[in-house]
Structure 1
Amino acid sequence: MIISKDLFLLGDQDYLRLPNKDEKRPTMLRPAVKPQRVDSNVVHFPCLITDHRPLPVHLAFRGITVSAGNRTILQDVDGLVRPGQVLAIMGPSGCGKTTLLNALSGRRKLDSGQIFLNRDPLCKRWKRKICYVLQQDIFFPALTLRQTLEYTARLRLPDTLSYSQKMQYVDHIIDVLGLVNVQDTIIGDYIQRGLSGGEKKRANIACELLTNPSIMLLDEPTSGLDSHAAHSLMTTLKRYAVLEGKTVVITLHQPSSQIFHLCDKLLLLCNGQTAYYGDTCKVVDFFSSIGLNIMLHYNPADFILEQVKGPPELRQRIINAARELRKSKEYPMELINHECAYITEKYIDHTNKILPASHGPYPSLEQDTLNSMEPDVRRLWLDTHSHASSSVSSDTNDSDCYFSWPTSFWTQFKVLSQRNFQEARPRMLSKLHWVQTIGLGLLAGLLWFQLERKEEALHDIQGWMFFSTTYWMLFAHFGALSSFPPEREVISKERQSGAYRLSAYYLAKMVGELPLTVTLPAVYHFISYPMLGFHSPTVFIKLLGFLLLNTIVAQSVGFFIGACCMDMQLSITISALYTLATQLFGGYLATNIPVWLTWMRYLSMVHYAYQNMQIVEFGEEHPIKCAEQSKFSVCNKSENIPMSSILEAQGADLPLWANTIVLLAFLFVFRTLGYVVLRYFKTPK
């Protein structure tokens, strides 16, 4: 079946004729694998994504208006960018550049206006074909560049690809963006030295390019880079757009003249309105036509930005001239006649003549106008998807577009579990934490060394239990609290791009970090408890189980508070109040609790873990002998203090199984509440 004059589908293989030296760009997207030459004119590419062969896409937006409250951010903004072109959005700070990118990516709701990709309005199906590179470079700092790209590829490339094929994509992107020499370098942050600023920018772009997007949106990728790094990055983007047939939209703050002339189209914004739209090379002539002449050897980018920052009268004159420019013959036909009758479908017979049609996204064009278009543009205009049903009315909403995840739940869970484990291991099992744990275990063991099973040592044994439970509660709780905010930024970015289900991430986080969470408390217990006095392997294992359960519950509370509070200071304050109250009502520091405050002990997770450890430690197999002048009345009749009397002195009244169920309920409730908060209340905008 012939799709275009250059592309043929033969079974499951794609054949693509490479462009001649006189052609501006290839007619179809070049797959991200090395080709195998068949003959001198045809190059064979394995068809890696059988259900997704992206055609070149042109992006048209008309009458974009966005407001926030009573303030209008964008007003009646138009633009068009075709495959292989780079559209630069420029303007002074606060003019709406980032807001426009958010609108084009579907992350910002429009007050009015239309966004079309080829002939279809923007919807969920198209959002998956748009990559949006944020201005901030948000990564897991402990992962290397290659690990970051490999996990991204395994999550965002479809399950129809094998692992080796996904790694081919990673190799190709690393090679295209010139990151081969730093692929094994960690991303790094302000504490750990890693990639440079320019390398992080390219890594950010590489993560998005892995999905083979049709459209690339980049928010000020040159910010924070020196002139050489910025020019190198822009040259790479320009080359990629031309060779791969990508549609690129980029915001620039104050580019050099070299970077400025790399852009094909320019959209200049002033007070949220269009100050110029057209070819970059013609912007100087536009300003000259209204009496604003540029000096010789002056950077055009600096010149036009100075003009749109001028007095209100000058800015209004520029905006009025830009409105008049819309009436010229050179203005794109796709952006003309906003209020006219549009067509939804163009029925074309075998002679390529346009037949009558109804209202829809684009104005009806004469045959002479279509014949004057470039072949690629005319083919996109007439029939992008090879059948008329691909057109969607301008009233299409997200529910009309089928959305499917790139990978299955099991794949997402497996990959995210591995990534969470690898990312959290250097943080949770750092050298300092090992030294701290071993040192504390030895110190606790020496402090309570070989305590005798007598009433005189009862308070010391209880002290070890309470200290162990409270310390690891605080360690796990505040560890989760401090690590969650930076991780939340990465998760929000990936959720916005539709990489995986939140449920898969949340379950993977619980499973992936579980071995790391229990490792240090287990090591502490193995060191300190035998020094305290080892009596029974069964008691040893049971005490370890309740210590670890209490640690995991405390971590769950930390996740929940971290998910609820965006402000770190607020979350620390709330956590401090809760954990300190938990200790006060745990049953060791205060036993004579006022009646009207006794209900607080049932909200203390330490209370249940501490009581269970006492039930196990002071069981009938290894009783505590009474003192000569015992404070327990039962010692008048017996030589040993029963476990029930010890618990009764502290106001405990629940058996072992009940305390365990309550701890498990704490675990389930806080984990569930954390998911609900992320799913319904902290959804990325």
Structure 2
Amino acid sequence: MADTVKNTSSDSGKDTVIDVDIEHHAVAEAHLRNTTVRNISWRNVTVTVKDRETKEPKTIVENVEGIVEAGEICALMGPSGCGKTTLLNVLASRPTGAQKVDATVLVNGQKPSRNAFREMSRFVEQDDALIGSLTVRETLHFASRLASTSSLPKRERIARIDGLLDSFGLRDQANTLIGTPIRKGISGGQKRRVGVASQLITSPKILFLDEPTSGLDSAASWEVINYLKGVAKRNNLIVIASIHQPSTSVFNLFDKLLLLSAGKPHYFGPVATIDAHFTALGHALPLHVNPAEYLLEMVNVDFSRSRRETAAEHLDELQRAWSASPRAADVSAAVAVAEVGTKEGDGAALVDAEAERKPSLPSLIVTLVHRSFVKSYRDVVAYGIRVAMYTGLAIMMGTVWLRLDTEQESIIPLINAIFFGSAFMSFMAVAYCPAFLEDYMQFIKEKRNGLYGATALIISNFLIGIPYLVGISLLFSAISYWLSNFRPTAAAFFTWVFWLFLDLLAAEGLVVFMTSLFPSFVISLALVAFANGLFMSVNGFMVSPTLLNVFYKYVFHFWDYQKYVFENMMINEFSERVYSCASTGPGPEECQCMWQTDLADQCLIRGQGVLDQYGYKPGYMGKDVGIMMGIIVGYRIAAWIVLKLKK
């Protein structure tokens, strides 16, 4: 037995008929049933910000109240800038950036904790962050694994994913990439549907959506809202969505409407009674006109420049009429009844049930590592470009410093090559900024939805980078080390690789920290480049540590990770090697040694003589490795603190 739904794709313009089996739907949506959430109510919601021009307090949302019952879908509608998104953020317990927020938001008449509310609700942003290198199916798959549904059998999770793909008209795009700047994927409209579907699969009790139909044509918008309405009805889900100028068919799908203008309510209640309310005020909705458009024009004063004062007075009259209307009194009474009629312990039972089902930290880390692995080998921005770039650097280094011999004239070029091989490898870690920025935006969305926190992100990000950085270190060294003719032993080669790996690990930690602190591509790129430029200047190559001035030596030099890499690569090369001096004749008196060591009488330079110029001595590798590990872990902890402190 099948329920046939006609879906018009917003992207191809072709009509496709999707047969959705009712039994399949029953399995796909069973996770939303038996919810303990009966309603969400809010009263006295007032948001105040600082006016940018006058610097005085300005109220952008004022004394808004309402209630939405389980199974209902409510629209927040109003002109641009009327406070829809701000109100939605308040209801969803999300940051608003406001100077002051006064609000009472209750679930089943009780105020849940912030964590409990995040467990029971989900938020779909207008510009939803999606990982472009994942397919549509993989996006839903990983979303289900990060949520409480991860404890369910794999077969049931797959059934839910299939049900959502069918219902949102995404079956044909299931194995298509979301899309990256380099690789084309699905369209913008399809991305909106994926964003909504990825939140529905995480078993929400309350779903908030910011402009869920933006980027969709009227047919696709109707499909999205119609499916949300069906899910809400069948499974007692509460859906609250801000929406701007929907079509008549989409508008009529909503059960309730909250009409805002200038931050004040002008109507709240069933969509079916809107006409009666405004008819009583002398503003009957005209026939053959989109009611949403008519309502928005009636409460919009932005384009009434010639009669702005008259329009503002008219708007105040409408708002006062609403406040004095019987319907406004009914809303206040319904909110009061919801608070009084709550059952003791409802909230606690919900919190306990959710806490039991939430994935453990190790499970979250495994899922995030798996997702990052898929992303990293598909997305050339993550590591592909860096591999190509480092390969090019290795070839350039090996061919510029080509087959340097053990004569004293090769010593300075060898030192230059060591500096180049270490410092520029860490400097080019700036290429990781865009890849981590995508991870950061995904983390912010998923953290706000209560899926995981900073600990899971930092650990998984660290783990996924290790094999790639080991591979990059080996690739770079295999090309450049032997071409440049550094000390030709296996021990020396792998010591070089080890320090290069620590160098890249520290540099990537710096990227993670800076990008977490300033999640802007341009700013994070500039700061990482500046920091590495500073470290290159004080790592001991440009100015010998014995000559470096006190300020830079004690403020930057000792926690400069490039310092320990350069020092130990120098020791690796010179501590056990001997170089020939220039000679103008057969006798030792004809030798001209640039560094005087105990082998001068043999017309040779002991490598330690070169190290003495820098104050480097072997025997401290264990201590230096410990310091490097401290720096590497320190950057990750610093990034963790930043992410924990961010609202």
TM-score relative to the length of structure 2? 0.84
Write out per-residue CA displacement over residues 366-417 of structure 1, whole angstroms, 9 at most, x where no aligned residue. xxxxxxxxxxxxxxx6x8xxxx43257xxx9x99999567101110111111
Question: Partner of 1:513: helix, strand, or coil?
Answer: helix
Letter in 1 for 2:108: N
Letter in 2 for 1:593: L
Q: In the alignment, is residue 624 of structure 1 matched against residue 579 of structure 2?
A: yes
2:499–2:568 contact (8 Å) kept in structure 1:
yes
1:472–1:521 contact (8 Å) kept in structure 2:
no
Write out per-residue CA displacement over residues 185-228 of structure 1, whole angstroms, 9 at most, x where no aligned residue. 11114443212122111111111111222222111111232333
Q: Take 1:44 and 1:195, find their aligned partners in 2: how far apart are those partners?
A: 28
Question: Partner of 2:128: helix, strand, or coil?
Answer: coil
CA shift for structure 1 position 514: 1.5
Correspondent of 2:607 among 633, 639, 643: 643
Letter in 2 for 1:460: P
Question: Partner of 2:344: helix, strand, or coil?
Answer: helix
* Distance 1:541-1:55 versus aligned 2 partners, 3 A rule: same
CA shift for structure 1 position 567: 4.2
Structure with more helix by fraction: 2
Q: Take 1:590 and 1:571, find their aligned partners in 2: how far apart are those partners?
A: 27
CA shift for structure 1 position 449: 2.5
Question: Partner of 2:431: helix, strand, or coil?
Answer: helix
Letter in 1 for 2:596: S
CA shift for structure 1 position 34: 7.5
* Distance 1:44-1:602 versus aligned 2 partners, 3 A rule: closer
1:58–1:80 contact (8 Å) kept in structure 2:
yes
Letter in 1 for 2:159: Q
Could you tell me which residue of structure 1 aligns to residue 240 of structure 2?
A: 249
Could you tell me which residue of structure 1 aligns to residue 316 of structure 2?
A: 316
Question: Partner of 1:589: helix, strand, or coil?
Answer: coil
List alignment gaps of at least 5 residues for structure 1.
1-31, 37-42, 343-359, 363-380
CA shift for structure 1 position 566: 3.6
Could you tell me which residue of structure 1 aligns to residue 86 of structure 2?
A: 99
* Distance 1:521-1:461 versus aligned 2 partners, 3 A rule: same
Q: Take 2:432 and 2:166, find their aligned partners in 1: how far apart are those partners?
A: 37
Correspondent of 2:202 among 211, 215, 219: 211
2:322–2:328 contact (8 Å) kept in structure 1:
no
1:409–1:501 contact (8 Å) kept in structure 2:
no
RMSD, aligned α-carbons = 3.2
The more displaced of 414-423 and 186-195 is 186-195
Q: Take 2:422 and 2:491, find their aligned partners in 1: how far apart are those partners?
A: 19
Could you tell me which residue of structure 1 aligns to residue 587 of structure 2?
A: none
Aligned residues: 595
* Distance 1:659-1:455 versus aligned 2 partners, 3 A rule: farther
Q: Take 1:232 and 1:44, find their aligned partners in 2: how far apart are those partners?
A: 19
* Distance 1:330-1:532 versus aligned 2 partners, 3 A rule: closer
Q: In the alignment, is residue 86 of structure 1 matched against residue 50 of structure 2?
A: no
CA shift for structure 1 position 33: 11
The more displaced of 579-588 and 503-512 is 579-588
The more displaced of 73-82 and 111-120 is 111-120
The more displaced of 311-320 and 292-301 is 292-301
Q: In the alignment, is residue 492 of structure 1 matched against residue 438 of structure 2?
A: no
* Distance 1:668-1:524 versus aligned 2 partners, 3 A rule: same
* Distance 1:46-1:458 versus aligned 2 partners, 3 A rule: closer
1:307–1:314 contact (8 Å) kept in structure 2:
no
Q: Take 1:456 and 1:72, find their aligned partners in 2: how far apart are those partners?
A: 74
Could you tell me which residue of structure 2 aligns to residue 291 of structure 1?
A: 282
1:586–1:606 contact (8 Å) kept in structure 2:
yes
Q: Take 1:521 and 1:553, find their aligned partners in 2: how far apart are those partners?
A: 13
Correspondent of 2:416 among 451, 455, 463: 463
Q: In the alignment, is residue 73 of structure 1 matched against residue 73 of structure 2?
A: no
Could you tell me which residue of structure 2 aligns to residue 15 of structure 1?
A: none
Letter in 2 for 1:503: T
Q: Take 1:410 and 1:276, find their aligned partners in 2: how far apart are those partners?
A: 48
Letter in 2 for 1:443: M
CA shift for structure 1 position 438: 3.3
CA shift for structure 1 position 457: 1.2
Q: Take 2:382 and 2:640, find their aligned partners in 1: how far apart are those partners?
A: 26
CA shift for structure 1 position 288: 2.3
Q: In the alignment, is residue 279 of structure 1 matched against residue 303 of structure 2?
A: no
Correspondent of 2:105 among 115, 118, 132: 115
The more displaced of 230-239 and 544-553 is 230-239
Correspondent of 1:361 among 317, 331, 339: 339
Correspondent of 1:613 among 569, 581, 589: 569
Correspondent of 1:560 among 507, 513, 516: 513
* Distance 1:155-1:285 versus aligned 2 partners, 3 A rule: same
Question: Partner of 1:81: helix, strand, or coil?
Answer: strand
Q: Take 1:421 and 1:553, find their aligned partners in 2: how far apart are those partners?
A: 20
2:149–2:202 contact (8 Å) kept in structure 1:
no
Q: Take 1:111 and 1:434, find their aligned partners in 2: how far apart are those partners?
A: 49
* Distance 1:587-1:60 versus aligned 2 partners, 3 A rule: closer
Correspondent of 1:508 among 456, 460, 478: 460
TM-score relative to the length of structure 1? 0.80
Could you tell me which residue of structure 1 aligns to residue 43 of structure 2?
A: 62
Alignment of 1:31-430 (within 5 A): 35=23, 53-55=34-36, 57-69=38-50, 70-108=57-95, 111-123=101-113, 124-158=115-149, 160-310=151-301, 311-326=311-326, 333-335=333-335, 361-362=339-340, 388-391=343-346, 406-425=358-377, 426-427=379-380
Question: Partner of 1:407: helix, strand, or coil?
Answer: coil
* Distance 1:204-1:44 versus aligned 2 partners, 3 A rule: closer
The more displaced of 123-132 and 264-273 is 123-132
1:57–1:215 contact (8 Å) kept in structure 2:
no
Question: Partner of 1:128: helix, strand, or coil?
Answer: helix
Q: Take 1:84 and 1:47, find their aligned partners in 2: how far apart are those partners?
A: 14
Question: Partner of 1:121: helix, strand, or coil?
Answer: coil
CA shift for structure 1 position 318: 0.8
CA shift for structure 1 position 546: 0.8
2:149–2:157 contact (8 Å) kept in structure 1:
no
CA shift for structure 1 position 263: 1.4
Write out per-residue CA displacement over residues 597-640 of structure 1, whole angstroms, 9 at most, x where no aligned residue. 544533432221112112112233x4323333111121434544
Could you tell me which residue of structure 2 aligns to residue 664 of structure 1?
A: 629
CA shift for structure 1 position 267: 0.9
Q: Take 1:656 and 1:119, find their aligned partners in 2: how far apart are those partners?
A: 63
Write out per-residue CA displacement over residues 147-191 of structure 1, whole angstroms, 9 at most, x where no aligned residue. 111111111034532333333322222222221111111111444
Could you tell me which residue of structure 1 aligns to residue 390 of structure 2?
A: 437
CA shift for structure 1 position 582: 1.6
CA shift for structure 1 position 120: 3.1
Q: Take 2:283 and 2:397, find their aligned partners in 1: how far apart are those partners?
A: 79
Q: Take 2:110 and 2:191, find their aligned partners in 1: how far apart are those partners?
A: 34
Q: Percent identity?
A: 25
Could you tell me which residue of structure 2 aligns to residue 547 of structure 1?
A: 500
CA shift for structure 1 position 275: 0.3
CA shift for structure 1 position 491: 0.4
Write out per-residue CA displacement over residues 642-673 of structure 1, whole angstroms, 9 at most, x where no aligned residue. 33211111343573333323222221222211
CA shift for structure 1 position 248: 1.6
1:201–1:221 contact (8 Å) kept in structure 2:
yes
Could you tell me which residue of structure 1 aligns to residue 525 of structure 2?
A: 572
Could you tell me which residue of structure 2 aligns to residue 6 of structure 1?
A: none
CA shift for structure 1 position 518: 2.9
Alignment of 1:585-604 (within 5 A): 585-591=538-544, 593-596=547-550, 597-599=552-554, 600-604=556-560
Q: Take 2:631 and 2:383, find their aligned partners in 1: how far apart are those partners?
A: 28
Correspondent of 1:679 among 614, 622, 644: 644
Letter in 1 for 2:120: K
Q: Take 1:77 and 1:669, find their aligned partners in 2: how far apart are those partners?
A: 46
Write out per-residue CA displacement over residues 317-342 of structure 1, whole angstroms, 9 at most, x where no aligned residue. 1111211224678658423xx5xxx7
Letter in 1 for 2:539: G
Could you tell me which residue of structure 2 aligns to residue 536 of structure 1?
A: 489
Question: Partner of 1:361: helix, strand, or coil?
Answer: helix
* Distance 1:331-1:525 versus aligned 2 partners, 3 A rule: closer
Q: Take 2:230 and 2:131, find their aligned partners in 1: how far apart are those partners?
A: 29
* Distance 1:44-1:134 versus aligned 2 partners, 3 A rule: closer
